Structure 1
Amino acid sequence: MTTASQPKLDLSPAVIEAARTSKAWPFEEARKLLKRVTAAKIDRPVLFETGYGPSGLPHIGTFGEVARTTMVRTAFRVLSNDEIPTRLLCFSDDMDGMRKIPDNVPDRAFLEPHLHKPLTDVPNPFGGGASSFGAHNNAMLRRFLDTFGFDYEFASATDYYRSGRFDEILLKATEKYQDIMDVMLPTLGAERQATYSPFLPISPTSGRVLYVPMKAVDAKAGTITFDDENGEETTLPVTGGRVKLQWKPDFGARWAALDVDFEMFGKDHLTNASIYDRICEILGGTAPEHFVYELFLDEIGQKISKSKGNGLTIDEWLTYASPESLALYMFTKPKTAKKLYFDVIPKAVDEYFAFAGKLPAMPVEQQLANPVWHIHSGRPPQVDMPVSFTMLLNLVSASNAETKDVLWAFISRHVPGVTAATHPKLDELVGYAIRYFEDFVKPTKVFHAPDEVELAALTALDEKLAQLPADADGSAIQDAVLDVARAIERYQDHNKKSPDGGPGVSVVWFSALYKLLLGQERGPRFGSFVALYGIEETRALIARAIAGELAGAAAEN
């Protein structure tokens, strides 16, 4: 199923010329692929593939493969002047046996009788209209890919095996059985070698995927013989979905069967890449171009796992930020391991809008290195974001806003003419900020009770702010905040110089302000925050901190 048409590209001579030398990683990968396609004189659509194992709910890493592959596909289209047709196939390995029950299912006992059955034969424990566990997880992935507007075709291993689309390659595998075994056996321990087979029959009696040795492989008849779970010798044709391949041979066989030209996978597959390639070649195919990316880690540095349900889900990210911010996170440094948890969201949001704001003024060669160009397939939207996500979070914190109207009252006063109607993206961000603050910032707020030095500093800051006009801008307010700190030894940084030649201001000052007034370790430029929140409102916040009300209220909660 194709869910969207491919976006129209800017194929001006300047763009194509810049693409030929661009150091952005999608263009580097696309150049390798174009060289391969040209040399092979391929006269069919170039096939990009991504794989998905629906053993658990889809996580963001799965989305990342589709997003990143789409970026390479777009770069390839530019380099080829969009004269070579392309396809993107998102392939689900949903005929794999359910080898363990995921931690994040609602009823583990419900699934226990169905262990080792193909995922599309395991009942759906989640409710809804999906016919099986695998179908439910496939639907979740497709729903998000459709929401983001990817141009892709979805493929189910179950459908391909049972409809006969893999019959030819499976029969070829019986002919090349010993060649495949010669590749696989040296990679296995002695005990595993004794029982290994690239073929996994589906038991006619239990419906389970069986890991059993072959008693015979008959290439002429296209059958395998093995002992079923009940001990009865059984012969099955390898065709028609009665048999599937082990995952390593399956990887290479799929490449050969479908003529895959490009596939990326995580670093955990790197040691097996040569095995996939060799099996693909044994079965008459040409191994695709690869791109190996680093793995995503959870907050404590463990690999994200579908079965564990650690890390972020797609829906969780989209509750607090836009798909574009998620795509930016995928684009940046794909060969560097990155932690993927809630704290990374605000930075990703603000970086996206920063890149988007800079792009129009950039020369063409710099535009092609800008992540936003790749996120939007070369057609980035015009974006005006007058208030950052981080600033909105701090505004929510200071104002205790629970609705958009409260935040918009501050924003409209600070940025005249900006409304929810004129800036729908900002309005969207306001909603994200309220939800993110309530769920992740508010529960961790710890207000610091001011000591004597801090009490004096807050009093001086209040007096300084009182001297400013109500409409003072962020720069003027920031200068006033710095002036207060320069006179206090604790906040002086003698490695810096102030405009008058005295010591500069230490970051300790700003850290103290956020701990005292917002209950947080960090925040945006303080002068800009005060300009947005309001001088009088900030003075009221300072008064509550001096009186001990903020720290006292936090202690009571």
Structure 2
Amino acid sequence: MSSDAQPQPTPDARPEGEQPAKGRGRGKGKGQGGEPVDWVTRAADDALRHAEQARADGQARDLVTCASGASPSGPVHLGNLREFLTVHFVADELRRRGQQVRHLHSWDDYDRFRKVPAGVDSSWAEHIGRPLSAVPDPWDCHESWAEHFKAPLREALAEMGVQMEEISQTQMYRSGAYREQILTAIRNRDRIEKILAQYRTKAAAPATGEDADADAVSTAEVDTEPIQAPIQASADLARFPYKPYCRECGRDTTTLLAYDDDTTDLAYACTSCAFEGVTNVATQDEGKLVWKVDWPMRWTFEGVDFEPGGADHATPGSSYTVGKDVVKVFGGRAPSFVAYGFVGFAGMQKMSSSSGGVPTAADALKILEPSILRWLYVRRAPKQTFSIDFGPEVVRLYDEWDALTKKAADPAKRDVAVLAHERAVRTADAPLATSAVKVPFRTLSSVADVTAGSADLISEVIGSVGFPHDSVADLEPRLSKAMQWTAEFVPAEERTTVRETPDTARLASLGADERQWVDLLLAHLPAELTQDEVTTVVYGVPKLARGLSLDDKPTDEVKADQKAFFTLLYNLLVDADRGPRLPTLIVALGAEKVRALLGAAAA
């Protein structure tokens, strides 16, 4: 969503031979020259125009900056992942065009620790109000709370081919990098207040997260009872744009008492520990700007040309709309922007990163190939909401992906859907990992379900059902994903349980037709099982029983017999009325096991 205050765009610079931005995105997903156009193309065009305008305005820009940001307050879930991937795809498109570009990610680890989530010792309430980077890791595996949640996301992004330049807001603020910008905000606090007041008069959606308190004195919340009588803030400091952390206890439960414009001394009192002190804004780095001032300040400081945000950031009075005006205080202008919708999981419409218990990118990558996870995000416009289901939908998702992969192999069928596939399977620098031998996910998961064995055993069966390969490595990473999905996400009642011994009672009660079917199967079942041979026999047994040959087309009577025969085999082999495809099941079990479970019928 672009700013209504943006200057008129200038022609964008592209590598020789590329179409200019004008005309891109017009029509039904086709640009000039018939090239498919998607939301990534349009967002990249906007980012490039923003950078070109900045250069035209005299700003030194040697590259296009696409920015993302996230607060490591908890697991970086699949909803948060949209922030990272939206920026990645736009930066990657610019890189494909030969542009100098960076994906700059800000970790908002200088945000306050707000609450103790379920599963964490209640003693961690002691740290509420302190920066996330200053809160110890309760699991004692990283140096801080913030680092604990950054690490798994970094690994997941690397697996998905996402490269980004990371900066820590703790380090930026503590190093004094923003001193001049902080002083600029303080000197212009009346101007900033007029902007904020203007937006407060407009109808706005209820604020969430940082927005919930950014209009107040700061992003702080008083989560604990003060140990002394409340301190009355100076009236002219009620909406001061800067908030110090207490020098004594490290919390942001501070009330501002006085500010001297000449000396830049800021006096405050802490309602948590009763400390009273003075911080000099020009020489000491003990606090941060409030969110609605901090974000636009960074746009100018980092030279941001594109940055997305949740849909709530683009509502009247929220962060981006307010920031478009606040950024002018710092001599900049808002970056190009797209609002993205939420990503749900199994019916959850919105995820809260601080509550835990929601799936992360690392969780998804246990069962989804990196390309498929990327594809889920790139194939939809950011404003579209969607859900990710780890249940039976996974099998259908892989089927859909494989069908698209087949379509993408035909240059004549290149369209927006194929373009999304291209963006998913490789970055501008390299392709993502993929299986050398592509086996349908449903086949791999069925074999994994039936064998409940090692990857080597599954590999052996897969080779027998029509997918020859040299080693287990040829089936990766899909094989491991299928094994993990079968083990973790297929409910016990839906798992295939192979009988350990024959069902002698059922075998003894077989009707004449049933006994004939089983006898014919045992008589024609080859010693060395292959998918094609077993398929021919399984479907052919009812034909033979009706006096037909294996090559004859089935009659209506044969089709009815096939249905009854298949149910009988499932009953005798896995004690169920249905299961994996019978040829795959029989090959997976092996001839010896099948004969052992059915052999009593011949007695």
Q: TM-score range by the shorter chain?
A: 0.7 to 0.9
- Tell me what 1:120 maps to: 133
1:418 and 2:465 correspond? no
Give the residue type in structure 2 aligned to 1:436.
W
| Contact 1:304–1:310 (CA under 8 A) maintained in structure 2 | no
Match of 1:387 in 2: 439
The one-letter code matched in structure 1 to 2:269 is D
Q: 2:348 aligns with which of 301, 305, 315?
A: 301
* Stretch deviating more after TM superposition (424-433 or 406-415): 424-433
Give 1:287 deviation, angstroms: 0.4
2:409 to 356, 360, 366: 360
User: Which of 241, 260, 264 is equivalent to 2:308?
Assistant: 264
Whether 1:71 and 2:86 are equivalent positions in the alignment is no
CA positional deviation for 1:44:
2.5
The residue number in structure 1 matching 2:148 is 136
Superposed, which structure 2 residues align to 1:510-525 within 5 Å?
Answer: none
Which amino acid is 2:148 matched to?
Answer: H
Answer whether contact 1:223 1:235 (CA < 8 A) is retained: yes
SS in 2 for 1:415: coil
Q: Distance in 2 between matches of 1:211 and 1:532?
A: 70
1:464–1:116 Cα change, 3 Å: farther
Query: What residue in structure 1 maps to residue 178 of structure 2?
Result: 166
Matches within 5 A, 1:46-57: 46-57=64-75
> What displacement does 1:155 show?
0.3
The 5 A counterparts of 1:321-400 are: 321-333=368-380, 334-343=382-391, 345-363=394-412, 365-366=414-415, 369-375=418-424, 376-378=426-428, 380=431, 384-400=436-452
Q: Give TM-score scaled by structure 1 length.
A: 0.76
Structure exhibiting the larger radius of gyration computed from Cα positions: 2
Distance 2:292 2:186 in 1: 16
Q: How many pairs were matched up? A: 513
Q: Note if contact 2:514-2:565 (Cα within 8 Å) is conserved in structure 1.
A: no
Gaps of 5+ in 1: 1-10, 486-497, 547-557
The 3 A distance-change label for structure 1 pair 75 and 519 is farther
Deviates more, 1:169-178 or 1:32-41: 32-41
- Per the alignment, residue 236 of structure 1 pairs with 279
Instruction: Find the counterpart in structure 1 of residue 362 from structure 2.
Output: 315
Give the letter for the 1:285 counterpart: G
Instruction: Evaluate the alpha carbon distance shift between residue 541 and residue 431 of structure 1 in structure 2; reply closer, same or farther with a 3 A threshold.
Output: farther
Distance 1:312 1:291 in 2: 24
Aligned partners of 1:51 and 1:93 also within 8 Å: yes
The correspondence of residues 61-100 of structure 1 with structure 2, limited to 5 A, is: 61-78=79-96, 81-82=97-98, 84-100=99-115
Say whether the 8 Å CA contact 2:66–2:87 is kept in structure 1: yes
Among 226, 244, 252, which residue is 1:209 paired with? 252
SS for the counterpart of 2:486 is helix
Residues 439 and 467 of structure 2 are in contact (CA less than 8 Å); yes or no, is this contact kept in structure 1? no
Whole-angstrom distance in 1 between the partners of 2:159 and 2:281: 38
Counterpart of 1:236 in 2: which secondary structure? strand
Contact 1:120 1:133 in 2 (8 A): yes
Whether 1:31 aligns to 2:45 is yes
* C-alpha displacement of 1:291: 1.6
Deviations 1:283-323 (A, max 9, x none): 32210111221112232424222222132123322333432
Amino acid at match of 1:205: E
Q: Aligned match of 1:275 in 322, 333, 337?
A: 322
1:538 Cα offset (Å)? 10
Is the CA contact 1:474–1:529 (under 8 Å) kept in the aligned structure 2?
Answer: no
Measured in 2, the distance between the counterparts of 1:521 and 1:270 equals: 53
Q: 1:45, CA displacement in angstroms?
A: 1.1
Unaligned residue ranges in structure 2 (runs of 5+): 1-14, 25-29, 218-234, 544-552
Higher helix share: 1
Contact 2:531–2:583 (CA under 8 A) maintained in structure 1: yes
Local SS of the residue matching 1:159: helix
Question: Equivalent residue of 2:67, what SS?
Answer: strand
**Correspondence for 1:255:** 299
Give how far 1:151 is off. Answer: 2.4
Question: Which of residues 259, 268, 289 in structure 2 aligns to 1:226?
Answer: 268
Q: What residue number does 2:163 align with?
A: 151
Q: How far apart are 1:441 and its partner, in Å?
A: 1.6
| Cα distance in 2 for residues equivalent to 1:246 and 1:22 | 42
Q: What per-residue deviation string (whole Å, max 9, x for no partner) do you get for residues 161-193 of structure 1?
A: 011111121111102212222233427999958
TM-score by length of 2: 0.71
Q: How many Å apart are 1:407 and its aligned residue?
A: 1.1
1:491 aligns with none
Partner of 2:196: 184
Equivalent pair of 1:474/1:527 in contact (CA under 8 Å): no
Helix, strand or coil at the partner of 1:41: helix
Matched, 1:439 2:488: yes
Contact 1:121/1:133 (8 A) holds in 2: yes
The alpha carbon displacement at 1:329 in A equals: 2.3
**In 2: Cα distance, 1:509 partner to 1:116 partner:** 67
Give the counterpart letter for 1:228 in structure 2: C
Q: SS of the residue aligned with 2:307? A: strand
